Every structure is written in C-alpha cells, then in structure tokens.
A and B are shown apart, each in its own frame.
Chain A
C-alpha cells in the first residue's frame, strides 16, 4: 500500500527496531562550508543510512529506509545504488518494485535516477513491453523529457525485439500530430528508421527513404517555420547520400514570399506539397537550403548562393549574420581553389 508522505512517522532514532544501528553524522570532525539546512527527518534518515552502509546491511528494513530517503531527495544516487544492491541481495520481487516506481513517478520524481533504476530493473525482469506504455503515459505530461525519450530508445535498442519496434512509427506519428515541432519525437523517428538496423519489411532502403521524404515534406507544408522538420530532411538526405538539389522543386516555393492572392493555383504535385496559405514566407531554413543547392552546383551558381546568404545575413536571419558571411567567404575560397 502506498504510505502517504504526510503521515507522521517517528524518526528512526526513536524507533526501537532500529536501536541496534549506530547512526553516523555526516560531518564528524569538520564544520563544513556551505552547509545545507536539513530537515530533522532528512538528517535522521541519512544518519541511519550512513550507519547501515558502514555495517553493509542488506535487509527489508533497508528497503524501507532507502525509500524514505529517495522520497525526500530523489537525487540521492547512493541511496538508489544501495537500494538496488539490496533488492538483488534479497532477491526481492522486481515487479513490485516497478509498481512502486510507477507510484513515485506520479508523485513527480523526475530525476534521472528514477529512470535509471527502472533500466536496472527491466534488465532483470526482461519484460520491456509495459515499460513502453509507461513511457508513453509519462510523455503525455512532459513531452520532451530527455531522460524519458533516451530511456525509450535504450529499451528498443537493448531488447531489439521486432514486436517492440513494430508500433514505434505509429507512436512517433501520434506525438508529431500532437506537436509537429517536438524535436525529441523527430529524433526518435530518425533513430527508429535509420539507426537501428534493418527489420523485416524494411529491406528496400530506397523505399524507406522515399517514405521518409514524403512524410517530412507533408509536415513542412503544414508549418514551414519548423527547424526540427528541416533538420530531419537534411538528416535523411545526408544519410542516404542524396544531393540536396533533388529537393529543389519542393523547396523553392518555401524560399520565396507568398504569391499574391490573385495568383492562379499551382497544379498539385504530390511530390512537392505547397506551403499552406497561412505560412509565413520566405522561411529561413528554405532559403538556407536553396543556398546549399547552389553552392553544391558551383560555378556560376555561387552568385545565387551568395545572394541568398546575403538576404539571410541582412534581412531574414540577422542574428546569424556572421555565419552567413562565413559561408560566403568559404564558397569563394573553394571557387578559387577548385576552378581549373
């Protein structure tokens, strides 16, 4: 049963069943600089923790003590470490421990140690399925929690089970539907699609790349000023070693101002979804992309690249002026070095 934190428990120093343990003060002979003003409960619990660590005790009451400490200070990594060793020594039922961890997580214990403890437990239980569900629930509240996302990636990579992988694309799509700008979700997608080996059904890597390009283009069309989507697009092209110029037809409209309202509509090109009418254009990432295309083409196209970089430096992305001017200077160096 869950013991409410508010329920008054006597201090360990007042509990007869703890009388055999010698509590140890934190600082014995030193008056420390920068002391922390501990509560009586915390000082008492940690004094007893130091006591049982010294005697190397691993017993059920140690589980109670370490739980007490981590409720007061979830960052106390030594208490977590000792708790884990005790669980192993006692051969405690780890599913119960995971259930306790679920409750602690609900009470907003958001530190890294909570997640790492789960990782240690699931390595023992070898039952990762419920973890994915737990992670998904966690991410509803805290959509970009770094520890949560990297724990999910670790579960998938470590167990490397097709059944676990099979729902991931759906999961990422749901997260991106909820917020197309969630960079953690985009990173997760790249991990699932390109960095975890080849699974059954995905052997046609060209088809996978085409699918991903179509996916990211659709998302750019909805909200073009989204650095996550453009970084993903670049990532896919770099990974597939595809030249950026293959996306020129798609990117071009995003690098130009919105056409006047009376412009006749374009013929719909499924390969090149157009920006929504509400998109704020030109979009900086698209201008940069076009400049990269022109730079790669070289020769006379370098002038076009330079013009685009100048527009970024002086108008659209002025905070990065120095970087855009660096790109201009570098392209001129290559030109003079490379031209025959």
Chain B
C-alpha cells in the first residue's frame, strides 16, 4: 500500500476529522504536526486556494480540505463505511455535512470576538444547535447520526463535543443545556465514548490553555 502521511495542526478539528476517518478504517499513517502560522511551501504548493492544513498525501497524491479528504478516504478504502449505501440517505448525510460547513464557523466567531459581534455569533450558534437537535436526527432513536456506528455526519459535527465545550468555558457561556438539547447531549456522550474518538481527542486542559492564550493574542491585536 502507498504511504499515507497527514500534515495537520494541533487542536484543529479539521485535522482530527481526517485522523478519525483513517483510524476507523484501520489505515496506517504518519502524522506530521505543522505550525499554525505556517503558510510555507507545502501550503502554497498543495493548497494555494484555501491556504490551510490538513493536507493528506497518499503516495504522490496530495489532498486538502477535510470533507473532500473524507470522501476520498471513503472512496479509496471502503471498509467500515462512513456513508450509507442508499443514494437518498447519502444525499441526506451530505446535506448535513454541508450544513456543518456552512454554519460551524459561528462557533469560531463566538470564540474570537467580543461585544455585538460575539452576541450575534452566540445567537447563530444556538440557532445551528436547534436545527440539528430538531431536524438532523430524523425520526429514529439511534446512537449516532449515521445510525449504530459513527459516520461522516458525526465527524462533520465534531466541533460540538469537546471544542464547543472548551470554547463555552473560555467565553463564559453555556449553550448546550440538557433541557434544550437532550438529543444532542446524548449524541455528544456517545461520540466521546466511542473508542476511536476517545483515543484521538486533544487533551482538554492543554487545549483550554492553548485556545485561551490564542484568544488573548487575537483580541489584543485587533
């Protein structure tokens, strides 16, 4: 099998999505941690369009953008599928992946802004969580968005477990209340207890310190 090398950055959800996908499929890979501020030769050569990590190398092939990488991983290694088989169910899964991409940035905005901008981002985050709670789970009770096993939608919503919790602590808000989001909180619990996820999450305390420092730097320079 051709070598698989992942270049990513610490505490970065997009990097973790790729790690989770590779681990679930049992694909051996090397991980190289890059500097957050690195916009050097790798990025300019392999992702000038978006200028960011993660970048996955499979032999000589280079891929970037985490959800594109996940579909590639799914196409290349079909074991332990991340997507359903039925085309309609696949379309539904991809819809929620797109939704996560469209709306997920409000969590980041909540984190690195203050005042009115932050209030707006908090509102948008709550709206996003409401839509997921009310519409993304469908009619059946199941452990994950994908059913009994973790799938691509669970990974797309990966910002909610762990990352949102840490950002809530830093910013000083509590959005994921049990009475408002029972299904989401149940999912968060299941997600974090899943073996592959449990073994591949950034250390919470270290992430808290890192993100808190980053926030202070960001806010003082704006």
A and B part of one assembly: no
Instruction: Give the B-binding residues of A (Cβ under 8 A).
Output: none
Binding site for A on B (CB under 8 A): none
